[in-house]
Amino acid sequence: MIQGDMLYEGKAKKIFLTDQPDEVVQYFKDDATAFNAQKKGTILEKGIVNNKISTRLFELLEQAGVATHFLKKLSDREMLARRVKILPIEVVIRNRATGSIIKRLGLEEGLVIDPPLIEFFYKDDSLGDPLITEDHIRMMNLATSDQVASLKTLSLKINEVLKPFFQERGMMLVDFKLEFGLWNGQILLADEISPDTCRFWDIQTGERMDKDRFRKDLGRIEETYQEVLRRVCA
């Protein structure tokens, strides 16, 4: 596998071509952003931590029968993945109310959401990733109705695999964001699953163990990412 030109640079990752047309290298950066990149910073070694955590979680999900873009971990910051066409839809799964849903609907922080709630956001930075409905997805041809049905089924299944995994490690999976891609007509889980894209609350102390520490200036950011890694990969 020879790494080629950069295909895309996002806020937290870079994607490189390889000598295999079907495969890309996903490189994890230390850059951190919040509030649609209005807040910018660096979380030291975040790229290394998120690559390791994502690798572990993609392996776990593959074992549970969820098809992902993950092929193998190449180095501290690099993962080999299938080259997918990312659907421009961010899928958010919520087990507890916090974050944007509280601002939008005035819910009580920590309210249990059971069965879990699925929300769709249109992946477009220039619009600030707005909340969309299935009708918007259909109207804008972002995905077919069958694909939307699959996104919902897959997201709930992923929640059912991840929730007990984190519970056993003393962490509550509060909410998380998934991205999916198309590969040979199949929907694959793509992007990453990490403290950047999930919210975890320590079950004993309620302490925030995710990117909310950066978003809300809660301190001990690097230590917390390392602690999540220790619990996930122990």
Site residues for ligand ASP per CB under 6 A: 11, 33-34, 36-37, 211, 215
Strands 198-202, 39-42: parallel, antiparallel or unpaired by DSSP? Answer: unpaired
Residue with tokens 């403290």: 195
- CB-nearer residue toward ligand TMP: 35 or 114: 35
Please name which of 69, 82, 45 lies closest in space to residue 178, comparing C-alpha atoms. 69
- CB-nearer residue toward ligand TMP: 77 or 199: 199
Does 176 contact ligand TMP by CB under 6 A?
yes
The only residue of 12, 74, 198, 232 in contact with ligand TMP, by rule CB under 6 A: 198
Does 179 contact ligand TMP by CB under 6 A?
no
Give the C-alpha separation, 23 to 106, whole Å: 44
Does 199 contact ligand TMP by CB under 6 A?
yes
- CB-nearer residue toward ligand ASP: 37 or 218: 37
Please name which of 34, 22, 25, 8 lies closest in space to residue 221, comparing C-alpha atoms. 34
- CB-nearer residue toward ligand TMP: 76 or 124: 124
The token duo for 52 is: 């390791």
Residue number closest to ligand TMP, CB atom: 99
The only residue of 18, 51, 197, 224 in contact with ligand TMP, by rule CB under 6 A: 197
Give the C-alpha separation, 94 to 65, whole Å: 22
Give the interface size with ligand TMP as a residue count (CB under 6 A). 11
199 binds, among ligand TMP, ligand ASP, none (CB under 5 to 8 A by kind): ligand TMP
Whether the CB-CB separation of 28 and 51 falls below 8 Å is answered with yes
- Counting other chains too, the contacts that 53-60 makes at CB distance below 8 Å and 24 or more residues apart are 53/193, 53/194, 53/195, 53/228, 53/229, 53/232, 53/233, 54/28, 54/79, 54/192, 54/193, 54/194, 55/79, 56/232, 56/233, 57/162, 57/165, 57/193, 57/232, 58/189, 58/193, 60/161, 60/162, 60/165
The only residue of 92, 132, 188, 190 in contact with ligand TMP, by rule CB under 6 A: 92
215 binds, among ligand TMP, ligand ASP, none (CB under 5 to 8 A by kind): ligand ASP
Whether the CB-CB separation of 61 and 68 falls below 8 Å is answered with yes
Which residues ranging from 114 to 133 are in contact with ligand TMP (CB under 6 A)?
Answer: 129
Q: How far is the CB of 37 from ligand TMP (least distance, A)?
A: 9
123 binds, among ligand TMP, ligand ASP, none (CB under 5 to 8 A by kind): none
The token duo for 228 is: 């999540």
Binding residues for ligand TMP, rule: CB under 6 A, are 92, 99-101, 129, 175-177, 197-199
